[in-house]
Amino acid sequence: MEHKKLEFTVPSECDGMNANVFLKKYCKVSARMITRLKREKDGIIRDEKILRTIDTVRAGDTIILSMPTDKNEVIPIKGELNILYEDDYIIALDKPSDTPVHPTKIHQTDTLANFLAYRQQRRGESFTFRAINRLDKDTSGIVVVAKDRYTAHQLFKNMNKTYAAVCEGIIVEKGTIDKPIRLLEDHTIQRTTAPDGAPSVTHYTPILHTDRHTLLSITLETGHTHQIRCHFSSIGYPLAGDDMYGGSLNFITRQALHCDFVSFVHPITGKFVEIKSELPEDIKDLIN
């Protein structure tokens, strides 16, 4: 099995700290991963020697974790990828509106995961496809994929996303939709707002409008399936092209929703990363 090395230097404030506490509190390594590393050959090393979790770390120590990489089981299929950002730990892709993120029963070979698996194969790489944010098949925009379990764990709740959407009707003031969401009865995918749903909060700011549509910038406090689509339908402004939630197909043939901005502090380098994606042509046509 291949391994990826993660290196940490013990800061002065952690001098004398128990190694297990240092790994959890400072390095943000989960208890499950620590257990797994202890079973790996040279899983946790200090000065070329095994560091036990009961040992004490000292300021200036270099701790090296040998993170096992999982094999990618997705079928490699040649396909187009638009890469917005990449390093040894993260790759960000610009997803077209007609492409699923990962394989499902009815989409086994035409997903971002398949296309990325093909690229990995050609480059001699192997990592499990871990999408940190998942977009509906017909939603376009940025999908961030972590190349290892540790990076995925760090990014999962520490990534900021902004969406661009075009709704039907004219909205002139920014606002917040705070309505719980749950699955619609007798449906497997469609959502509805209801008092017994999961808490869901959507913030929006109008950017510009035509005589029938409004371009919005949207951020989410919660990230539930179909949250934006369901929320805007619930206030009488369904997304253009979103016929599941009452939108018209007259001007665009899919929901006018696009993840256009993502930012995060890089879990390994500590640098602030910003990733942007241009509006696709079908959404531009709506607002021009």
- Residues with active-site annotation: 136
Q: Strands, E, within the chain: which ranges?
A: 3-9, 44-46, 49-50, 62-68, 83-86, 90-95, 130-131, 140-146, 159-168, 175-178, 181-183, 191-193, 201-209, 213-220, 257-265, 272-276
Number of H helices, E strands in the chain: 6, 16
Residues 6+ away with beta carbon under 8 Å from 204 = 165, 171, 174, 175, 176, 177, 216, 217, 218
* Phi and psi angles of residue 116, each rounded to the nearest 5 degrees, phi first: -70, -35
Cβ–Cβ < 8 Å for 248, 214: no
Q: Tokens 């509106």 map to which residue?
A: 97
* DSSP for 138-161, written as a single string: T-EEEEEEESSHHHHHHHTTSEEE
Cβ–Cβ < 8 Å for 115, 61: no
Report the 10 Å Cβ neighbour count for 197.
16
Cβ–Cβ < 8 Å for 55, 20: no
